[in-house]
A and B are shown apart, each in its own frame.
Chain A
Amino acid sequence: MKSWRLIVFALVGLAQLAVPASLIWKREQTLRHGRVWKFRTAPVDPVDAFRGRYVALQFDAETQEISPPPNAGSGQTVFVTVRQNPEGLAEIDQVLANAPTGDDFIEAKLAGKTVSLPFDKYWVTERDAPAAEAAYFAQSRRDKRNAFVIVRVFRGDAALEQLYLDGLPLGEYLRANPAK
Chain B
Amino acid sequence: MRAADRSGIRWLLAELPELVAGGILSAEDAAALRRHYSTKDPGEPRRIGFVLSAVLGSLLIGAGIILLVAHNWDCLSRPVRCAIAFAPLALSQTLAIFVLLRRNESAPWRESAAILNVAAIGTAIALVSQTYQIQGDFARFILVWMLLALPIVYLFRTSVGLAIYFVGATVWVLSSKGDAFLGASPNDLWVWPLLLLGVPAFIALLRENRNGYGTLLTMTALAVAAACSLGQTDGIGAQSFWRGSFAGFWTVVYLVGAAPFKDWRPTRPHPFVAAGWIGIVSLAIFLSFQDSWRSRQWQNAVDLIPRHYPDLLAAGIQIAWVLAALLFAAYALWKDRGRANLAPAAFAPVAIIAWGIAKRTGNPLLPSLLLNFFTLVLGLFTLLRGIRAGRAFEANLGMLVIAILAIARFFDSEFEFFVRGVAFIAIGLGFLVTNLVVFKRRAGA
Query: Measured between C-beta atoms, what is the minimum distance from B383 to chain A in Å?
Result: 47
Given the known interface contacts A17-B89, A50-B126, the answer about A159 and B71 at a Cβ–Cβ threshold of 8 Å is no
Is A120 in contact with B135, judged by CB distance below 8 angstroms? yes
Q: Residues of B contacting A124 with CB < 8 Å?
A: 72, 74
Query: Measured between C-beta atoms, what is the minimum distance from B22 to chain A in Å?
Result: 56
Is A16 in contact with B70, judged by CB distance below 8 angstroms? no
Given the known interface contacts A124-B72, A125-B72, the answer about A5 and B104 at a Cβ–Cβ threshold of 8 Å is yes
Within 8 A of B (CB), among A146-164: 159-161
Task: Tell me, in angstroms, the Cα distance from A120 to B134 when the chains sit together.
Answer: 10
Is B93 in contact with A13, judged by CB distance below 8 angstroms? yes
Interface residues of chain B: helix, strand, loop or mixed (majority): helix
Q: Residues of B contacting A8 with CB < 8 Å?
A: 151, 155
Residue of B69, B101, B121, B151 touching A52 (CB-CB under 8 A): B69
Residue of A12, A16, A121 touching B135 (CB-CB under 8 A): A121
Indicate with 1 or 0, residue by residue over A24-57, a CB within 8 angstroms of chain B CB atoms.
1001000000000000000000000011110000
Q: Residues of A contacting B129 with CB < 8 Å?
A: 23, 51
Is B97 in contact with A9, judged by CB distance below 8 angstroms? yes
Q: How many residues of chain B have a CB within 8 Å of chain A?
A: 40
Within 8 A of B (CB), among A42-84: 50-53, 75
Q: Is B160 an interface residue (CB 8 A)?
A: no
Is A12 in contact with B100, judged by CB distance below 8 angstroms? no
Q: Residues of A contacting B141 with CB < 8 Å?
A: 50
Residue of B117, B125, B132, B178 touching A19 (CB-CB under 8 A): B125
Within 8 A of A (CB), among B143-162: 144, 148, 151-152, 155
Is A2 in contact with B70, judged by CB distance below 8 angstroms? no
Is B135 in contact with A51, judged by CB distance below 8 angstroms? no
Is A20 in contact with B85, judged by CB distance below 8 angstroms? yes
Task: Tell me, in angstroms, the Cα distance from A119 to B89 when the chains sit together.
Answer: 27
Q: Is A126 an interface residue (CB 8 A)?
A: yes
Q: Is B413 an interface residue (CB 8 A)?
A: no
Q: Is B324 an interface residue (CB 8 A)?
A: no
**How many Cβ-Cβ contacts under 8 Å join chain A to chain B?**
100
Given the known interface contacts A23-B129, A51-B130, A126-B70, the answer about A5 and B155 at a Cβ–Cβ threshold of 8 Å is yes
Q: Residues of A contacting B82 with CB < 8 Å?
A: 24
Q: Is B73 an interface residue (CB 8 A)?
A: yes
Q: Residues of A contacting B138 with CB < 8 Å?
A: 50
Q: Is A118 an interface residue (CB 8 A)?
A: yes
Given the known interface contacts A2-B101, A5-B155, A8-B155, the answer about A160 and B133 at a Cβ–Cβ threshold of 8 Å is yes
Given the known interface contacts A2-B101, A51-B126, the answer about A23 and B132 at a Cβ–Cβ threshold of 8 Å is yes
Q: Is B128 an interface residue (CB 8 A)?
A: yes
Is B86 in contact with A17, judged by CB distance below 8 angstroms? yes
The residue on A at minimum CB distance from B100 is A5
Is A20 in contact with B86, judged by CB distance below 8 angstroms? yes
Residue of A27, A109, A125 touching B74 (CB-CB under 8 A): A125
Q: Is A173 an interface residue (CB 8 A)?
A: no
Q: Residues of B contacting A13 with CB < 8 Å?
A: 93, 96
Task: Tell me, in angstroms, the Cα distance from A16 to B126 when the chains sit together.
Answer: 13
Task: Tell me, in angstroms, the Cα distance from A122 to B86 when the chains sit together.
Answer: 22
Is A123 in contact with B73, judged by CB distance below 8 angstroms? no
Is A24 in contact with B132, judged by CB distance below 8 angstroms? yes
Q: Is B230 an interface residue (CB 8 A)?
A: no
Q: Residues of B contacting A5 with CB < 8 Å?
A: 100, 104, 155
Most chain B CB inside 10 Å of its own CB: which residue of A8, A16, A51, A75 = A16
Task: Tell me, in angstroms, the Cα distance from A74 to B148 when the chains sit together.
Answer: 31
Is B104 in contact with A2, judged by CB distance below 8 angstroms? yes
Task: Tell me, in angstroms, the Cα distance from A23 to B101 when the chains sit together.
Answer: 31
Nearest 7 pairs of A and B residues by beta carbon: A52-B70, A160-B133, A27-B132, A20-B128, A12-B151, A20-B124, A52-B72
A–B Cβ pairs within 8 angstroms, 27 of them:
A2-B100, A2-B101, A5-B155, A9-B100, A12-B151, A16-B93, A16-B117, A19-B125, A20-B89, A23-B128, A23-B132, A23-B134, A24-B82, A24-B132, A50-B126, A50-B138, A52-B71, A52-B72, A121-B133, A121-B135, A122-B133, A123-B130, A126-B71, A159-B133, A160-B133, A160-B135, A171-B74
Interface residues of A (CB under 8 A from B): 2, 5-6, 8-9, 12-13, 15-17, 19-20, 23-24, 27, 50-53, 75, 109, 118-126, 128, 159-161, 171
Interface residues of B (CB under 8 A from A): 66, 69-74, 82, 85-86, 89-90, 93, 96-97, 100-101, 104, 117, 120-121, 124-130, 132-135, 138, 141, 144, 148, 151-152, 155, 178
